[in-house]
Amino acid sequence: MKILEFQNNAFKAQQKIYSEYGKINGMEERFQIIELSFEILEDFLKIPFNKNEITVNAFRELVIRSHKTLQSVTLIATSGLEIQTLSFLRDLVEIEFLLLFFTIYPEKITTWWKADKKTRIQNFSPVHLRNGIAKKYPEMKKSMEDDYAGH
């Protein structure tokens, strides 16, 4: 089987799974929420921006990463691959923490953007982000820890 033929068959199978999965009770509403999420992310990316501004580029990259991850989550979840779906959902949670952290501490985004892997792990790990967010929003601390306690 040629690669293009395999890809087309996989796509057709995925479309069938998606359409059948959507018929399950309550799933249509969930798909509408996911579609709305895509629209919001795509609308953000249409906003004109200065390519030389680090803050804007960093936010755009996080939004692009969110969009790609949401695509993956949607496809994988409707295929019944729970473990892989959870991995991508974790990525979405980490992006959410980064975006919220940078709205609270915009001066740190340049450091993050230019940082090497070691610096990012030390200064921008999920626990560091949660603690920084909790300083501004203490009521979120328990919720964040309950949702993401192991990291």
CB atoms < 10 A from the CB of 24, how many?
Answer: 10
Q: Is 7 exposed, middle or buried (0-12, 13-18, 19+ CB in 10 A)?
A: exposed
Q: Residue 143: which domain range? A: 3-148
> Over the stretch 103-144, which tens digit does the pLDDT of each residue have?
899 999 999 999 999 999 999 998 899 899 989 888 877 776
Predicted TM-score of the model (pTM): 0.72
Tell me how far apart the alpha carbons of residues 75 and 125 are, in angstroms, rounded to a whole number: 27
> Over the stretch 15-33, which tens digit does the pLDDT of each residue have?
666 566 656 666 777 777 8
Tell me how far apart the alpha carbons of residues 80 and 16 are, in angstroms, rounded to a whole number: 13
Domain total in the chain: 1
Q: What is the CA radius of gyration of the chain?
A: 18
pLDDT of 1 strictly over 50: no
> Over the stretch 55-112, which tens digit does the pLDDT of each residue have?
889 989 999 999 999 988 888 887 778 888 888 988 988 998 899 899 899 999 999 9
Placement of tokens 């936010």 in the chain: 59
Cβ distance 85 to 113 under 8 Å? no
